[in-house]
Structure 1
């Protein structure tokens, strides 16, 4: 009888381990709306900065707009260092997520209400602060739902990544439609875009996510994320002890991999600046007589993410269960870098047709060049970004969990500032030279990361 009960308990435990905890659904939904807000606003930002004032924009040059865009998106990812540090010591993850969400909603509302330079800087500042509290904590909160060696972790973070990209897919389409179609008017023969209504839509999306998160948090998450990590270390003396040699090695492994990731995002984030400008000036966007809005191209990457993330999740799960075992994290990330570089090789072929001077275009490039570039970049992203989130949440010491997640996200901060600087150079150096350099560096860095795989695996244990 006891053996039968024990067998039933083992079967129930095995079955529960195959299923993901219900909190994954809530965090998926919350992150989806936060990304809707972020990418909805981001998809319009470069256009808003460069369109003339009489047409509803602020009238900056492409180079200046690239710099502003780069510094904003960079600061968005630096802020989690501060937000992660404060959360580790004083604030529960769930409270931090709520604080961040409300602040970001306010930032987009300021952009809606005030179409001035000071309104731009105030709105962007609020968005940066809000991201600092939201971004590092929702990822580490997801990690809290799984054990350190739970084989479902990489699969869970890949599913979570789909939530990011569901929001990112619809954001530029919906917000772009509001700005470039629904609220687009003609005043005295001059087109006037409704960018402010796109920002308002982004704000509403953020509010929807926060309402769901706070109403359903206790039901789906239980007590996870309610206490600061500092309180956890008081309850767990082992977690409050000085870092062990192995924990220090793991911390250094995270930092080393983070340095490599900077190069990936510096190339990937050209999507919002140089790729947007190239698409605007050199790509034939006409489809059977209909001209595709520029902002809609920002939806291509998340569309591919949604299509390919389940396949990637299945791949990691099958490899983990196979005799050979899963690919090491550095190899996955190295392959992601190589795929990114390959995407820029495709872009070089397009630039060879069109040239880099918008006033002397011989022929416009087929939009399939851009689509195929985004496809390669997307596969590279799936090999790198969700895997990195999973890695940090798994091997980071408990008392540094949110801070190290902030360090991981800060790599995107450095990368976005670097990306803005690189994009600004296209005006003087040309697209061919810039795209060739990014592609070559990405492939080289990817091969280097693969070559030191064994060293990093030993450090990560």
Structure 2
């Protein structure tokens, strides 16, 4: 498919007669809300599982869990989080080369639902591994393609893009709020498998809403932008079989186990990311201007991985922290530990639309008066520094268990941090994307989350092995240094195409 055809299809998403007209200043495309809905329910399912996953693995059989060690639970949770996002480049490649993105999203949602049903109905380690494997495959098919379709809703350039991604990200946060509330409650009252069943129901609702609104997504989502040749298809099949064979050998020989699984996941993430960057930089379908943008994305990729390492400790470090270090009693009521993460999400839901509105207001200002994208990302790390700084001083202020109100304050700052940084990161990935690698560029951004999820597992293990103050102080210093680095390279990145 030619670049002109792709551009025309993108325009058709907003202008049915395919004429080039000025974009409205305020209204967002209807397709944004279709994608908002499927992402909301997918995140409902994903986060609903994520907040109880570590507990399910290390709680005793008498408490409904699998009875593994806490270290194994954190390693598995980190590996699963990394693997979920590691599957996204595969789903993005399929959408760019073999199957239309619109179809990939529908198929991915169905596979995710199957994974949650497996967790709900199949007992023991077998049910855990089958369920997590299906969710990993399904999320890889769904997530990068919904993210890429949001970007294609807008003509280039569009002052509404950042605001659109902020609205879309609010859907993520709504799902991330109600998923844990539902599964956390069901886990305490009825058992883990009822929580997993609720996640399956959420994904089913998302599939129905997406099917009903499927014709509002960008027109180009119905076509394959860069079809692969027949020899290329056979190479891809051969590569897939080889990967499965290697995994089978590692598992059967005992070289890969629950204890070291996260090592393999992180190593694979780094290799895939490097391969993607090399492929885009060497591709004949990438122009010289696009190649400069890909180079500009490299430092943003690295800092993005650091950001997600911090945030995704919600499901590793902070899962253990909530279970062991926080006074969860409110009078006679004892709050489920899984609810701690919801305060982070509530803050994001409240602040996210305000940031979107402010971003739309900034878009109407002269260019020189609008903060650069890199400066916005650096500010996100300043807030992250404040977040971990608070948790570093809590043990110095309070003796014994940490009061719930103090932890909620820390979670609120973290929630504001996430909605300040994450939508801008998604937007810049779309902005710097080569035309022939649109979905795959979003998958590359997804690999920052993959690396962060995997590293968060290692951070959870580190938290359990050193003093609490030392751990959170280390996270504070890393966040501050990253903010300083981003701010120092803002001018250089502007020259390479980062607005």
Q: Same fold (TM over 0.5)?
A: yes
Q: Deviations over 1:158-217 (max 9, x none)?
A: 000011111111111111111112x1xxxxxxxxxx100100110110011011111221
- 1:130 corresponds to which of 111, 131, 138: 138
CA RMSD, 1 decimal: 1.9
- By how many angstroms is 1:256 displaced? 2.1
Q: What residue is the counterpart of 2:214 in the other structure?
A: 217
Looking at structure 2, the residues matched to 224 and 140 of structure 1 have their Cα atoms a distance apart, in angstroms, of 11
Q: What residue is the counterpart of 2:396 in the other structure?
A: 352
Q: Deviations over 1:298-357 (max 9, x none)?
A: 211221111001110122112221234321111111111121121111001122356xxx
Stretch deviating more after TM superposition (155-164 or 335-344): 335-344
2:286 and 2:435 in contact (8 A); partners too: no
Looking at structure 2, the residues matched to 408 and 14 of structure 1 have their Cα atoms a distance apart, in angstroms, of 30
- By how many angstroms is 1:13 displaced? 6.0
- 2:408 corresponds to which of 365, 368, 371: 371
Task: Say whether residues 1:226 and 2:226 are aligned partners.
Answer: no
- 1:257 corresponds to which of 300, 303, 307: 300
Looking at structure 1, the residues matched to 426 and 364 of structure 2 have their Cα atoms a distance apart, in angstroms, of 21
Q: Deviations over 1:266-300 (max 9, x none)?
A: 11111111112112112111223211111111211
Stretch deviating more after TM superposition (331-340 or 152-161): 331-340
- 2:423 corresponds to which of 360, 367, 386: 386
- By how many angstroms is 1:59 displaced? 1.1
2:149 and 2:218 in contact (8 A); partners too: no
2:344 and 2:413 in contact (8 A); partners too: no
- By how many angstroms is 1:400 displaced? 0.8
Q: What residue is the counterpart of 1:20 in the other structure?
A: 28
Distance 1:460 1:156, change over 3 A: same
- 1:325 corresponds to which of 369, 376, 379: 369
1:80 and 1:136 in contact (8 A); partners too: yes
- By how many angstroms is 1:17 displaced? 4.0
Q: What residue is the counterpart of 2:253 in the other structure?
A: none
- By how many angstroms is 1:383 displaced? 2.1
- 1:278 corresponds to which of 277, 297, 321: 321
Task: Say whether residues 1:158 and 2:154 are aligned partners.
Answer: no
2:286 and 2:436 in contact (8 A); partners too: no
Q: Secondary structure at the match of 2:221?
A: coil
Looking at structure 2, the residues matched to 85 and 168 of structure 1 have their Cα atoms a distance apart, in angstroms, of 27
Q: What residue is the counterpart of 2:38 in the other structure?
A: 30
Q: What residue is the counterpart of 1:359 in the other structure?
A: none
Matching of residues 64-79 of structure 1 within 5 Å: 64-79=72-87
Matching of residues 91-110 of structure 1 within 5 Å: 91-110=99-118
- 2:199 corresponds to which of 194, 197, 202: 202
Q: Secondary structure at the match of 1:460?
A: coil
Task: Say whether residues 1:178 and 2:221 are aligned partners.
Answer: no
Task: Say whether residues 1:55 and 2:98 are aligned partners.
Answer: no
- By how many angstroms is 1:157 displaced? 0.3
Q: Deviations over 1:69-103 (max 9, x none)?
A: 00000111111111111211011111110111111
Task: Say whether residues 1:445 and 2:491 are aligned partners.
Answer: no
- By how many angstroms is 1:382 displaced? 1.7
Tell me how many residue pairs correspond in the alignment.
425
Q: What residue is the counterpart of 1:189 in the other structure?
A: none
Task: Say whether residues 1:85 and 2:80 are aligned partners.
Answer: no
Structure 1 stretches lacking a partner, 5+ long: 1-11, 184-193, 233-239, 355-361
Q: Secondary structure at the match of 2:87?
A: helix
Q: What residue is the counterpart of 1:236 in the other structure?
A: none
Looking at structure 2, the residues matched to 120 and 221 of structure 1 have their Cα atoms a distance apart, in angstroms, of 34
- 2:337 corresponds to which of 280, 288, 294: 294
Task: Say whether residues 1:335 and 2:379 are aligned partners.
Answer: yes
1:71 and 1:420 in contact (8 A); partners too: yes
TM-score in terms of structure 2 length: 0.82
Looking at structure 1, the residues matched to 307 and 417 of structure 2 have their Cα atoms a distance apart, in angstroms, of 9
1:353 and 1:363 in contact (8 A); partners too: no
1:337 and 1:443 in contact (8 A); partners too: yes
Looking at structure 2, the residues matched to 380 and 225 of structure 1 have their Cα atoms a distance apart, in angstroms, of 32
- By how many angstroms is 1:53 displaced? 1.1
Q: Deviations over 1:93-118 (max 9, x none)?
A: 11110111111111111111112112
Distance 1:55 1:396, change over 3 A: same
Q: What residue is the counterpart of 2:273 in the other structure?
A: none
Distance 1:431 1:115, change over 3 A: farther
Q: Secondary structure at the match of 1:225?
A: helix
- By how many angstroms is 1:14 displaced? 6.0
Q: What residue is the counterpart of 2:156 in the other structure?
A: 148
